[in-house]
Amino acid sequence: MPLRLSKILVVAALALLISLVAFGNVTDYRTNFAFVQHVLAMDTIFPDASIHYRAITSPPLQHAAYVLIIAVQTITAVLCWAGVWRMWRRRRASAALFQRAKGLAVMGLSVGVALWLVGFMAIGGEWFGMWMSPQWNGVATSFRLVALLLGALVYLGQREVDMD
């Protein structure tokens, strides 16, 4: 039982963190939008970089990208919270039932990995050269989130055993 509660707690902690990130992006839209805007505009990367042609400077497209980010963060949080609820309800169930209850949490954590690994590290970091920006570089933060989410996925993925 303690391991099951621990798994529930880990997913709940990540659900809270991601909820707060999404909430912050909604309630402080302008401040956080500036990050997305500068990354997409590539206006703070090395001036002699040959990738400036990739820049997106259209405000409607920048807002669309930011809204998509917020939507995926929200979906991630909702799936994790739903997974927490399902696991909590099955915490005393058989190993097979508890294992199946993890499904939504696994999906939520996976969507989060996709967002921060693909969206921020691959697309933002590499395609838009975010790693070159001294001011608008979210690669380290994204890596931290990916590591946390992957660690939770590995922990959650451990097979359950029936309780005595």
CA quadruple 139, 74, 118, 37: dihedral positive or negative? negative
Local structure of 39: helix, strand or coil: helix
- What pLDDT digit, counting tens, does each position of 57-108 carry? 999 999 999 999 999 999 999 999 999 999 999 999 999 999 999 999 999 9
CA 26 to each of CA 31, 40, 52, 143, 161: distance values in angstroms, whole numbers, following the listed order: 10, 19, 29, 22, 41
| pLDDT attached to residue 12 | 98
What is the rounded distance in angstroms from the CA atom of residue 112 to the CA atom of residue 110?
5
- What pLDDT digit, counting tens, does each position of 108-120 carry? 999 999 999 999 9
Q: Whole-prediction pTM value? A: 0.94
Every domain of the chain and the residues it spans: 2-156
